[in-house]
Amino acid sequence: MKNKFAIQEVAKQYNISPQEIIDFLNDKGVSVDFGYQKIVDPRIIRDLEKELVNRNKKLPLLYISEADIENFKPVTKPIEFWQDANIPNLEKLIYKTLSFEKPKSEKIVGLTPFNWKFVKAKYNIKYSVGLNFTLFEDTICEIVKIKPGISVLDICQLLGFGNDQEIISETVKGLKTDDILKVDDSGFSLNLTEKGAVDIQRKQKSKPATNAFFDLFIDFYNPSNVHAKEIFSHSKSHKTKPADILITDFELIKNLAEFQQPTYQSSKSGYILQEAELIKDSVTFFESRFVAIVTEDLENNVQNKIWIFDPYKREISKQLTKTASENTILYSLITEKLYGELKETVFESVEKDQEQIAFDNLLVTATKEKSSKKSIPLQFQHFLSPDSLDTVQFEDEMERLFDVVQKQLWLIFPFAMGYIIEKRIRLIEKAIKNDCSVFVCFSQNENKEFGAKAVIDKKALEIFNKLANNNERFYYAELPKFHEKRVFAFLDDNLKCEYSGSHNYLSFFVQKTAKGVRRENMQRLIWSENSAKELAVRRNEFAFSYCERISDELDADIQLLTAFSKTDLKGRSEYYKKQLKKIKEFSTILTDQEMSFANVISLLEKMDQFIQKNK
């Protein structure tokens, strides 16, 4: 990125809305409008480029400064619908990130900044580099380990070499040089050295030890946290007063070094840490600011569950969350801090209105229904409770759905526009790769005879044709006139969900961080008998329309057979082979009572036979 750049070009390069870039720069204090803009300060460009390259595509592009993190204030009454709210970017990012992590039955009680302590310490060490034993070396050492004092000749005879000692003698000579075997002058007695006994147990030949020193990051609340360096080296920290912590245990040091100092201790690469001594006065205590989130589990009536948000990596820290939940002292520190800021508990001071209570009860009921089943995979749990989704949220929802759906996905929307479908191709293909059959339904034109605008444009139809020709699990059909917007998803063999509302998903697209967009709503509904009945009606219509289209194509091709070249005949033959296979696959999805494919399959078979005869 140079000092002069086009916002639209940058947005296109990174597949992001231009408005997101403008909002990011405005948050940073740079006034920007659409078009070309000169940026004088190269640091601004570097910050923007860093954000664009490293951003999580599920999350909005939000500028968050170190001052935002340091000055973050406790939030004691978090809002449910935060997208359009006038709240700080960091708070907005926390809500968005947590929405991907927590179950729907958990409600946020409050957020509070928390200074997490960690330690940096330096150690004097001895380490060696190990080389793997050859199969031959390993065999000889194992024999010597079992039979100390065995001779070279005995090993030769044991391994089937007879009296030929040359190969064994050369291998033994090398093991002696590496100080693994002790050999008397005559070669009659072989024994493992002290070093050799250790090496053969490790399955590595260690070189003589080397002196060095290294630093380790140590989590004050969980010293065995091997990810401490990864977490705290990316955070802004400041020194704090010392506290008691035991960091001299060799096994602890060795485990931390495996992750933090792999050039001195690595079981995979052969680096072996032999000694580690803490350097006096090298221990320094630090604090980094994170954000603790306390939630209420509505289903189990658990008031205090804790999540830790890492504002530097912009994610929920799984390691710190686990520590905060399991370390009783830390757990108390966080909850007492939050409730100290609340003055009195949220559960006593904040009364829920009847609508909220009803919705909470609905969530709990849905969750209980869900948990009554034998086993629900984690990736499906999000989709099995009711929810109301606005325009932006539904975009997120569909991305998540396409990621996990495994059996069937029915997209029932009246309009289909090519430039919108292009934005959906990646998601559709992702679902197909999961062996999911995707069915797209669009409406007949209500006023076709009066020249009204088509409900599906030429480009969309071309894309659907291409997808259908290249994928055996993609189908599309024009249904009798309708104006509903529905999605039916078969997550696996047993679990299903549906959506209904006003979002035109196949003809309208919005960036997930856009502001002031057209207001739409989709409801996620719990699957019911009524869901199954309504889908059955649409599947009947779909099957009839799909088969009628193929039948019309057959009739047209039969009329043109005499005009087909050999190349054309071959192409049509391959096309109908695919259609025959797809229709057979499609027929297994529907029951015999819903639709019979016998006539169409018969036509396809006859067409293919005729083409084969006329090649």
The SS3 of residue 277 is strand
Predicted pLDDT at 422: 87
- In whole angstroms, give the CA distance from residue 273 to residue 211: 10
pTM listed for this prediction:
0.49
Which positions ≥6 away from 572 have C-beta within 8 Å? Answer: 557, 564, 611
Q: Please check whether residue 497 is in contact with residue 407, taking contact to mean a CB–CB distance below 8 angstroms.
A: no
- Work out the percent of the chain whose per-residue pLDDT is above 70: 78
Residues 6+ apart with CB under 8 A from 201: none
Check for a shared fold between 1-55 and 373-527: no
Average pLDDT over residues 232-258: 92
CATH no. of 134-202: 1.10.10.10
Tokens of 145: 């380990």
Q: Are 62 and 89 in contact (CB under 8 A)?
A: yes
Q: Which residue has the higher pLDDT, 258 or 448?
A: 258
- Give the residue extent of every domain in the chain: 1-55, 59-133+203-361, 134-202, 373-527, 541-613
Least confident residue range of 102-106, 225-229, 346-350, 601-605: 346-350
Burial of 194 (0-12, 13-18, 19+ CB in 10 A): exposed
Which fold would CATH assign to domain 373-527?
Endonuclease; Chain A (3.30.870)
457 near 428, Cβ under 8 Å?
A: no
Q: Per mean pLDDT, which range of 115-129, 284-298, 543-557 is the poorest?
A: 543-557
Phi–psi pair at 94, nearest 5 degrees? -65, -45
Please tell me the least confidently modeled range out of 28-37, 251-260, 372-381: 28-37
Given the DSSP bridges, would you call strands 284-297 and 106-132 parallel, antiparallel or unpaired? antiparallel
Q: Which tokens belong to 608?
A: 């293919």
Q: Which pLDDT score, from 0 to 100, does residue 370 have?
A: 43
What residues contact residue 473 under an 8 Å CB cut-off, 6+ apart? Answer: 432, 435, 436, 437, 438, 585
Stretch among 100-114, 194-208, 244-258, 349-363 having the lowest mean pLDDT: 349-363
**Span 126-142, pLDDT tens digits:** 998 878 888 889 899 99
> What confidence category does residue 94 fall into, taking pLDDT thresholds of 50, 70 and 90?
confident
**Six-digit token string for 96:** 């968005």
pLDDT greater than 60 at residue 431 = yes
- Residue 614: pLDDT band with limits 50, 70, 90: low
When comparing pLDDT for 9 and 90, which is higher? 90
Q: Are 294 and 336 in contact (CB under 8 A)?
A: no
The confidence score (pLDDT) of residue 449 equals: 47
**Assigned fold of 1-55:** Arc Repressor Mutant, subunit A (1.10.10)
Question: What's the CA gap between 164 and 173, in Å, rounded?
Answer: 15
Give residue 490's pLDDT: 94
Count Cβ atoms within 10 A of the Cβ of residue 535 and give its class: 0-12 exposed, 13-18 middle, 19 or more buried.
buried
Nearest Cα neighbor of 133 from 145, 121, 122 is 145
**Spatial separation of the C-alpha atoms in residues 203 and 270, rounded to whole Å:** 10
Q: What is the pLDDT of residue 140?
A: 92
Distance of alpha carbon 302 from alpha carbon 464, whole angstroms: 49
Residue 349's pLDDT band (cuts 50, 70, 90): very low
